[in-house]
Amino acid sequence: MKILRVATCQFSVEGSISHNYLEIVRLMREAANGGAEVAHFSESALSGYAGVDIPDSDCIDWQELKTATRDIQSLARKLRLWVLLGSTHPLTGKNKPHNSVYVINARGEIVERYDKRFCTGQSGPDPTFDLCYYSPGNRSTVFSLRGITCGILICFDYRFPELFRELKRQDVQVLFHSFHNARKSVVRDPSYNIWKTIVPATMSCRAAENHFWISANNSTTRPSCWPSFAVRPDGAIVGKLKLHQPGCLITEFNVGGNYFDAPKHWRENAMRGILHSGRLVDDPRSSDPRCL
pLDDT in tens, 269-278: 999 999 999 9
Q: Indicate the DSSP class of residue 118.
A: S
Count CB-CB contacts under 10 A for residue 182.
27
Taking CA atoms, 114 is separated from 98, 111, 188, 195, 204, in Å, by: 9, 11, 28, 23, 22
Contact 44, 53 (CB under 8 A): yes
Which of 7-16, 92-101, 122-131, 184-193 comes out lowest in average pLDDT?
122-131
Q: How confident is the model at residue 126 (pLDDT cuts 50, 70, 90)?
A: low
Cα distance from N-terminal residue to C-terminal residue, the chain: 51
Q: What are phi and psi of 89, to 5 degrees?
A: -110, 115
Q: What is the rounded CA–CA span in Å between residue 219 and residue 115?
A: 18
Q: Say how many residues make up the chain.
A: 292
DSSP secondary structure of 228-266: -EEE-TTS-EEEE--TT--EEEEEEEEET-----TTTTT
pLDDT score recorded for residue 122:
65
**128: confidence class by pLDDT, cuts 50, 70, 90:** low
CA–CA distance, 214 with 79 (Å, rounded to integer): 23
Q: What's the whole-number average pLDDT of the chain?
A: 95
Q: Over the stretch 64-112, which tens digit does the pLDDT of each residue have?
A: 999 999 999 999 999 999 999 999 999 999 999 999 999 999 999 999 9
Cβ(113)–Cβ(136) under 8 Å?
Answer: no
R_g over Cα of the chain: 20
Q: Is the pLDDT of residue 123 over 90?
A: no
The CATH architecture annotation of domain 2-263 reads: 4-Layer Sandwich (3.60)
Tens of pLDDT along 8-57?
999 999 999 999 999 999 999 999 999 999 999 999 999 999 999 999 99
Tell the burial category of 5 from Cβ atoms under 10 Å away from its Cβ (0-12, 13-18, 19+): middle
The answer to which of 89-103, 144-158, 188-202 has the lowest mean pLDDT is: 188-202
Mean pLDDT of 217-235: 97
Q: Which residues pair with 87 in a beta bridge?
A: 100
Tell me which DSSP letter residue 159 carries: G
225 has pLDDT over 60:
yes
User: pLDDT tens, 136-147?
Assistant: 999 999 999 999
Lowest mean pLDDT of 7-16, 154-163, 189-198, name the range: 189-198
Which residues on adjacent β-strands are paired with residue 229?
A: 216, 240
Q: Is residue 127 scored above 90 in pLDDT?
A: no
Tell me the mean pLDDT in the region 125-153: 90
pLDDT confidence of residue 187 = 77
